Structure 1
Amino acid sequence: MNHYTWVYVAGGGRNVPVGLYHSSKKGHLLIYVGKKITTIDFNVLDSKEYTFFIDNELCRIKLERRGDKMFYFFEIDKTTDTPLNRARRAMERKFVRQLLIGLVVFVLVVSGFVIYMNNRHTGNAEQMEKMLARHGVETLGRVLVEKEGPHSAVSYQYIVHNQSYTSRHIALPSSLMVPRGGMPLETGDEFVVTYFPPDPEVSRIDLARPSQRQIQLYRQR
């Protein structure tokens, strides 16, 4: 006599034992839920299934014949049209709608933030160019090149009133490491730097304007 048991977790965390007894020789079958016998059947020697409710949940026990052996399965049926399954599908659709709305709102917020930051960066760059064009003072700066694989990190240093300033690093591919009409950039190369006197950290380097010393170095390379 085969005996199989399962546990169905009902509302409130209540455990409901589910089990069956099945004679593999005569086919006598008994299914019980908790302390209640729900099904008695005879001569069950081939694949078969039985359905029953636990509370409002439609459950199924399946017997599956595979050669000389019988396998037993306990399943919760969430596809058949029952009041609980209809309510479950309605909740799932509501959850999907809320999830989609949340994703749309998230995408809109992120997109708005990116657009705002891009506009802010563009506005700051334009404002810096205007300040340097109107009030900029020229000096000389030296390029710093740090090679990292196919890209190089480029920055420059310059001195204002005996104080040294270093620009932020800019990653450039090798194809852009040659200024227009010039030689490949190397550490120590000297170019004109324009800075804003009230805030010397605001600056730009003009790679098209090498210093006289740099021109002499180019001729020697």
Structure 2
Amino acid sequence: MGQQVWNMDSVTGDHYTVGLYHGEDSGNVVLYMNNEVFLIDFHILDDKNYHFYVGHEFMCLSIMRKNEEYFYDLQVDRDTPTPLNTAIRKSESSDEKLLLTGMIVASILLLALFIYNCYVRYIF
């Protein structure tokens, strides 16, 4: 029987334990979070993905079969347009715009100093 446990903290600081039991012969899958079962699936003998929330984050649990062995992977799904992912993208976009504005202002100041320096040398 394949078993896997992941411990994680959400963006709000709450602790979560996500666990998986997978009967490799029967293919039966049980997923639980903080000792509460939230998904049961039967006859999973090939690759399969499950999506669910852990706190505010949207997760993707993958079951992969390679050479008669099963591998399990739990990742944060950053591609799906959830409210948290949308807010993160908006924040990143805002940060990029602020950085670009700062670089433009710094370039203008450097150019102004260079022109002033050339002007002062020419006059004196």
- Contact 2:6/2:18 (<8 A) preserved: yes
Matched, 1:106 2:84: no
Q: Identity over aligned residues, as a percent?
A: 30
- TM-superposed CA distance for 1:90, in Å, is 1.4
Q: Return 5+ residue gaps in structure 2 as ranges.
A: none
Distance (Å, rounded) in 1 between the aligned partners of 2:114 and 2:5? 57
C-alpha distance after superposition, 1:197-219 (max 9, x if no partner): xxxxxxxxxxxxxxxxxxxxxxx
Query: What is residue 70 of structure 2 aligned with on the other side?
Result: 70
What are the residue-to-residue correspondences of 1:1-221 with 2, within 5 Å?
1-123=1-123, 127=124
Give the SS at the match of 1:88.
Answer: helix
How far off is 1:47 after superposition? 0.1
Which structure exhibits the higher relative contact order, with contacts defined as CA atoms closer than 8 Å and separated by 6 or more residues? Answer: 2
Give the structure-1-normalised TM-score: 0.52
Change (3 A) 1:122 1:69: farther
- What is the CA distance between 1:112 and its match in structure 2? 1.7
AA matched with 2:49: E
In the alignment, structure 1 segments of 5+ residues that lack a partner are: 128-221
| Structure 2 SS opposite 1:89 | helix
Please report the TM-score for the alignment, with normalisation by the length of structure 2: 0.88
Larger Rg: 1
Aligned residue pairs: how many? 124
Cα distance per residue 1:164-187 (max 9 Å; x no partner): xxxxxxxxxxxxxxxxxxxxxxxx
Q: Deviation of residue 17 (structure 1)?
A: 1.4
